[in-house]
Amino acid sequence: MIYVLIGVSGYLVILLFDIMLLKKIGRIKFLLWMLGSGLMVYSITMVCLNSDRISMPSWTTWLGWVMFGTGVIFITYSLFINLPFRKTYVSKDTGSTLIRTGFYALCRHPGTYWVNLFMISFIFISKSRLTLVEAPVFIMVNTILVIIEDRYIFPKLFPDYAEYQRETPMLIPNRKSVHTYLESLKRKASI
């Protein structure tokens, strides 16, 4: 259970990363982001390796790997390509550029889907009994973090966030956001 708490502390460090952005303290943001992400990865790894196993059909392992691979592709795109990596995570500048294209045209927090996909994939891949606890805890804590970001951090960080909130759903895409997403893909393809 200590490993689950370590992972939750990673989410708290990511919240601190967001607060540093809000306070315009960009000097340590990369370290905070790396520490928070590292704590979560360490937690997941240790839970998968150090827990009793549950019995599942062998095909679930393959399903888990497909889910994991899909999650890697989409979270990489969402967090490191769709968002400008250097400006978002590395540079000392805290930036205030709001991205509304790609997955961010579908919903304001697309990474939530990929985190959920990861957590479910770890259940199938590792068959670790403790992942049955860790996955719902991480999904819940990630959702709470997204709500805090959406209500308190991002409206202060991005000047036009209120307009983005009106135009784009928080988590569940709607017809309008799907249309906007498809249009952003067409514009990108024509460039």
pLDDT tens column, 126-180: 999 999 999 999 999 999 999 999 999 999 988 899 999 999 999 999 999 999 8
Q: What single letter denotes the amino acid at residue 65? A: W
pLDDT band at 25 (very low <50, low <70, confident <90, very high): confident
Are the C-beta atoms of residues 81 and 138 closer than 8 Å to each other?
no
Please, what CATH class does the domain formed by 2-190 belong to? mainly alpha
pTM: 0.84
Name the region of 102 (left: φ>0; alpha: ψ -120 to 50; beta: rest). left
Which has the higher per-residue pLDDT, 25 or 39?
A: 39
Where in the chain are the domains?
2-190
Are the C-beta atoms of residues 94 and 147 closer than 8 Å to each other?
no
Residue 94 has pLDDT above 60, yes or no: no
140: number of CA atoms within 13 Å, CB side? 8
pLDDT tens column, 67-90: 999 999 998 888 887 776 656 665
- The predicted pLDDT at position 96 comes to 63
Q: Could you give the CA distance from residue 172 to residue 169 in angstroms, rounded to a whole number?
A: 6
Nearest to 141 by CA among 22, 39, 63: 39
17: enclosing H helix or E strand = helix 2-22
- The predicted pLDDT at position 145 comes to 95
